[in-house]
Structure 1
Amino acid sequence: MIKKIIYPFLYITLLFSFVACKKDFLEVVPLGNQVATTTDDYDKLMNNPVFYMNEASGGQEAVSMGDETGAEAAFLNRGTVWMPRLFQWADSIYKPGDEIPYPFMLREGLENMYLLNKIITEVMASSGGSDTQKKQLLGEAKATRAWLNLLFVNYYAKPYNAATAATDPGFPIIDKADITVQRFDRGSVQSSYDFIIKDLTDALADVPVHPRIVTRMSKPAVAGLLGKVYVFMGRYADALPLLDNAFAAIAANGAPVLYNYNVEFAPGGAFLPIDPTFGPQGPGVNRNDTREAILSKVYYNGPNRGNMFGTDGLVLMPAVAALYGPHDQRLLLYTNRDLDGNLNPGGRLRKYGITWSRYGLQLPELYLLRAECRARTNDLGGAITDLETLRRNRMPAADAQVPPAVAGNQVALIKYIIDERIREFAQEGYRWFDMRRLSVDPIFSGKAITRNLYNTNGTTTVITLRQPDRLVMKIPPYFLQNNPGMPDNP
């Protein structure tokens, strides 16, 4: 059934100040006129910070919904109204009457979609550039549009399940730069993923091998992201050659490279000194650190400072803290002190070494994605090689070896790799997306998803996610009101 859908925020994109653009390019342009004419103009548009910083990166809400975190009620409840709702997996996160009744990620993502569609539609007719330059920009815009659609479908549609994807409601496909009323339907999860795959496949042929700026798309980024999409779909054999291609392109570039935490936390290392309040001096405190970035997208992930979201009160669940070995250098990113500086009464750990989280495509994730695909296609030796490559850069070599009982068992190794994803990315938003995809995986499905809220009186409230409904966020009422007939999620 065809529905009307109106996006009231899209016109705001026309007013953004774009990085490195000429003065006349920043002036308000009458509706319907182009905001860019030359290939160089469109190139500058792709440098817009909205594509790679803060809410556009899509991780802030996910941080609060990952089951690897518990929360201290004394600090969680002192922040914004949205944080407790997200933490409790509430049915409704954004409500009429809220100060801000919509998620920034969705609002900014839709604004960005307008800009990307404008580039996609117009760049090939732009003046002053070669066909190769124009095709590169077209590919970058398509790949960035695919990134946004991957976020949308993983917040507002069911996890991909091959048996039901053709009928599960997806997210509307927006492929025109038009702020007037358009006719859309939600389509299906399958059609959403098909569109994402087509954009990335088209882009792969034309994006550069080496990005001029690591915030922009390149062959290793697009190949890696397409591989990640196939992982989300459970198509591991299809993902593997793409992940291999991404590694090959990285080898040709000579970058990025892994940090060796054993070196950087040793005397004289770059991550020292460790400040008792703000933690180590690692990449998590410098949003411009791109050493491990294949595609750099960052968002603020520290305590709430008047922002919509923050990490106030979030702590590791005890079972997650137990996943780390005693010599794992990643433990130095955590403190047992609460935000007020006092020791946590339960000894629980808070991640204070990350103020800016990376959420594009990072080299550590590429290793873990390929390790998982190798394990799932029964290349256990290859999976172990990838896994131990990362682990040797996070802990002493003697601790990095995969336990023999795990190494020889396919299912045990897959579970160990998923645990490694938690160890590497805890409290940075990755777990929410893994929870979703693993909920339809026979190895992991059927298990209750819970987390703990530690109350000020010393008691603990166990919060259970209502599956499958709350593995999908409801569409905010603000958007439903402005889009009559748009069907919501249960």
Structure 2
Amino acid sequence: MLLCLTGCKKQDEFLDAKSQEGDIVLTTLSDFQAVLDYTPTMNTNYITLGQTGADNFYFPDVNYTSLQPYERNSVLWLKEIFPAGTNDIAYTSPYLVIRNSNIVLEGLEKITRTADNMARYDSVEGHARFARAFMFFELVNTFGKQYNEATAASDPGIPLRTFSDINILAGRAPVKNVYDFVINELKLVADRMPLNIQYMRPTKLSAYALLARVYLQKGDYVNAGRCCDSVLQYKTQLLNFNDSSLVSLSNTYRFPTYKSHPEILFYAEGLLTLVGAPSTSYAYCFADTVLYKSYAADDLRKTYFYNLLGANQAKFQGSYTGNSRIFAGLALNEVYFIRAECRARLHNIAGCLSDVNTLLKNRYRTGTYVGYETTDEEAALRFVLDERRKELPNTGQLRWEDLKRLNTEPKFAKVLTRIYNGVTYTLQPQSPRYVFPFAPKIIEQEGLQQNER
């Protein structure tokens, strides 16, 4: 049943799949929960396409030939990314999650919510709405422009598919509509979901954490901060990098699995690519040298996030998945940094520094960290942003999303540069190439307006 609901064995065949729910009878809350608990679809292959265009890594010239064509094109910010006839798994995989969520939500309409089944009903419904909202948010930040209040109502976003029938086409909803939909959905989820952490399933805390990420990307620092408060009033335990029972070089991927990791709020794995993958088999991509050198000698993130294979060749090794996949879920370290940034932007310097210093005490060798102090608001904000980059170098596509939002502020805007075969490639702040194009096959099958590059 679950394999049928995922559409096809290959993720990139979503658009060719035939609607099969008519051949499957789903009637109970347990049936619908089983759909959502199919982790190979619902908790894997989250979007990491933006990571290929970010500035946290570099490729030696000789390694570019190892990349898939779309990866190489994206790494160099070329106009065309996807070769003709190919689909984009960063687009099709999220829409499989969305379709499964829609199947569940349509099925729940046929079940009466009662006093006896209320908690279970709300948990299933919230799970479906959360998964769908998560995918819509990541999709709009990949294939849509950075949120701008002045233009968001007219900037084309992504298809806002709220129905399961894949034979019905949906045009591109404006960026504002997508954000409004995601925010309203997550508010509903946060209101109804339980508190207890379930890792593979969303809860009240993961809903607030994702809502904080959405508000931050939108530039709504008041609401982003409040959502962080809603998480941190219930859970504050950070992973101490000095705890050798959990963090160890003897572990190939350095960190414990999700069940033993105190910071994880919602577990998801990113799409596996050669760019930044922690797999020991993929020694093609290395940490940006400036980024790597920015870690202090006693900063254990330098030890556990990276494996120094040679001169200027620091391979990302430490993923919060504890395996060869990139962590693309939600964790407390991100929540701390969101709240710290919001506090800095809202003139609460003491609160901002308290959040970052609290986290960094758990990252440095015991007794070596000296808390950062300043009374200058811009210095505090720069401190937060620098440490955020060092803390979350390979979480989903956060760095790409950070570049998009920070490029709207001249003092934080950054020109990205790569050199390949003696040719210099650049990506200017707010360039249209910060918006990925749709693959030609998707344009052909869905009739979408292509993004300008």
TM range (shorter): 0.7 to 0.9
Q: Give, in angstroms, the shift of residue 461 of structure 1.
A: 5.1
SS in 1 for 2:59: strand
1:13 is the counterpart of 2:6: yes
Residue 389 of structure 2 corresponds to which residue in structure 1? 422
Q: Give, in angstroms, the shift of residue 85 of structure 1.
A: 1.5
In structure 2, relative to structure 1, the CA distance for the partners of 1:359 and 1:391 (3 Å cut) is: same
1:375 is the counterpart of 2:361: no
Unaligned runs of 5+ in 1: 1-9, 18-27, 252-256, 338-342
In structure 2, relative to structure 1, the CA distance for the partners of 1:312 and 1:31 (3 Å cut) is: same
SS in 1 for 2:58: strand
- Tell me, in whole angstroms, the C-alpha distance in 2 between the residues paired with 1:281 and 1:260: 13
1:1-80 aligned within 5 A: 13-14=6-7, 32-55=22-45, 57-59=46-48, 61-80=49-68
| Matched AA of 2:316 | K
SS in 2 for 1:159: coil
Q: Give, in angstroms, the shift of residue 51 of structure 1.
A: 4.8
8 Å CA contact 2:157, 2:178 repeated in 1 = yes
- The one-character-per-residue Cα deviations of 1:60-114 (angstroms, maximum 9, x if unpaired) are x2332211212112223223223221211222221115xxx12222111112211
In structure 2, relative to structure 1, the CA distance for the partners of 1:470 and 1:487 (3 Å cut) is: closer
1:359 is the counterpart of 2:328: yes
Residue 470 of structure 1 corresponds to which residue in structure 2? 433
In structure 2, relative to structure 1, the CA distance for the partners of 1:68 and 1:411 (3 Å cut) is: same
8 Å CA contact 1:214, 1:294 repeated in 2 = yes
Residue 449 of structure 1 corresponds to which residue in structure 2? 416
Q: Give, in angstroms, the shift of residue 247 of structure 1.
A: 1.2
Which of 154, 157, 161 matches 1:167?
Answer: 154
- Tell me, in whole angstroms, the C-alpha distance in 2 between the residues paired with 1:145 and 1:441: 30
In structure 2, relative to structure 1, the CA distance for the partners of 1:11 and 1:94 (3 Å cut) is: farther
SS in 2 for 1:92: coil
SS in 1 for 2:158: coil
Q: Give, in angstroms, the shift of residue 336 of structure 1.
A: 2.9
| Matched AA of 1:45 | V
Residue 83 of structure 1 corresponds to which residue in structure 2? 71
In structure 2, relative to structure 1, the CA distance for the partners of 1:29 and 1:439 (3 Å cut) is: closer
8 Å CA contact 1:70, 1:316 repeated in 2 = yes
Which of 372, 387, 390 matches 2:356?
Answer: 387
8 Å CA contact 1:159, 1:436 repeated in 2 = yes
8 Å CA contact 2:242, 2:366 repeated in 1 = no
Q: Give, in angstroms, the shift of residue 423 of structure 1.
A: 0.8
Residue 5 of structure 1 corresponds to which residue in structure 2? none
| Matched AA of 1:360 | G
In structure 2, relative to structure 1, the CA distance for the partners of 1:450 and 1:427 (3 Å cut) is: farther
1:148 is the counterpart of 2:163: no
8 Å CA contact 2:69, 2:83 repeated in 1 = no
Q: Give, in angstroms, the shift of residue 361 of structure 1.
A: 0.7
In structure 2, relative to structure 1, the CA distance for the partners of 1:323 and 1:399 (3 Å cut) is: farther
8 Å CA contact 2:438, 2:451 repeated in 1 = yes
In structure 2, relative to structure 1, the CA distance for the partners of 1:103 and 1:287 (3 Å cut) is: farther
- Tell me, in whole angstroms, the C-alpha distance in 1 between the residues paired with 2:247 and 2:406: 34
| Matched AA of 2:330 | L
8 Å CA contact 1:149, 1:192 repeated in 2 = yes
1:313 is the counterpart of 2:284: yes
Residue 240 of structure 2 corresponds to which residue in structure 1? 260
**Relative contact order (C-alpha < 8 Å, sep 6+): which is higher?**
1
Residue 187 of structure 2 corresponds to which residue in structure 1? 201
In structure 2, relative to structure 1, the CA distance for the partners of 1:146 and 1:485 (3 Å cut) is: closer
- The one-character-per-residue Cα deviations of 1:382-439 (angstroms, maximum 9, x if unpaired) are 11111011101110365534433xx211112111111111111224432111111111
| Matched AA of 1:235 | D
In structure 2, relative to structure 1, the CA distance for the partners of 1:357 and 1:155 (3 Å cut) is: same
SS in 2 for 1:249: coil
1:219 is the counterpart of 2:204: yes
Normalising by the residue count of structure 1, what TM-score does the alignment of the two structures yield?
0.81
1:266-305 aligned within 5 A: 269-274=245-250, 278=252, 281-283=254-256, 286=257, 290-299=261-270
Percent identity of paired positions between Structure 1 and Structure 2: 23
- Tell me, in whole angstroms, the C-alpha distance in 1 between the residues paired with 2:192 and 2:56: 39
Normalising by the residue count of structure 2, what TM-score does the alignment of the two structures yield?
0.87
- Tell me, in whole angstroms, the C-alpha distance in 2 between the residues paired with 1:29 and 1:77: 38
- Pairs aligned (count): 433
Larger deviation, residues 226-235 vs 116-125:
116-125
1:176 is the counterpart of 2:163: yes
SS in 1 for 2:22: coil
Q: Give, in angstroms, the shift of residue 377 of structure 1.
A: 0.8
8 Å CA contact 2:343, 2:349 repeated in 1 = yes
